[in-house]
């Protein structure tokens, strides 16, 4: 089955800095890669996703890049703000069918004012 490794487990940055979270996956058939943000005490929420036919996707201050050859994808957050502080989860799955994603273990991002 699919295995997703996520690093780092904790990331501490100063406000305004950039943050990068990396995930690797094992199943080359996976073609859908979402990122979820979970604020303290809240539910995970989708913030951005990418499919295997695209190398990069941006949405304002966040972007995701995908390297299919190396089987890794990354979340980039620029100009970090204190409200970006949360746990971020990556996932990998095969599009369609039974929709069973495999999640990484999460990265706790702390943005210091």
Partner 1 sequence: DAGITQSPRHKVTETGTPVTLRCHQTENHRYMYWYRQDPGHGLRLIHYSYGVKDTDKGEVSDGYSVSRSKTEDFLLTLESATSSQTSVYFCAVGGAGDEQYFGPGTRLTVT
**Minimum Å distance from CB 65 to partner 1?**
19
Query: Restricting to residues 8-67, which ones interact with partner 1 according to CB under 8 A?
Result: 32, 34, 36, 42-46, 49
Q: Does 96 bind partner 1 (CB under 8 A)?
A: yes
CA atoms within 13 A on the CB side of 93: 14
* Opening angle at CA 41, ends 40 and 46, nearest 5: 75
Cβ-based neighbour number of residue 80 at 10 Å: 21
**Residues contributing to the site for partner 1 (CB under 8 A):** 6, 32, 34, 36, 42-46, 49, 89, 93, 95-96, 98-101, 103-106
């Amino acid at each position: 089955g699919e295995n997703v490794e996520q690093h780092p487990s904790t990331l501490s940055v100063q406000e305004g800095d950039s943050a990068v979270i990396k995930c690797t996956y094992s199943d080359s058939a996976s073609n859908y890669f979402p990122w979820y943000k979970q604020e303290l005490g809240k539910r995970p929420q989708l913030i951005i996703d990418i499919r295997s036919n695209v190398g990069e996707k941006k949405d304002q201050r966040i972007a995701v890049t995908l390297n299919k050859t190396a089987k890794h994808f990354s979340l980039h957050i620029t100009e970090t703000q204190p409200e970006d502080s949360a746990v971020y989860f990556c996932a990998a799955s095969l599009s369609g069918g039974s929709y069973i994603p495999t999640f990484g273990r999460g990265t706790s991002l702390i943005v210091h004012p």
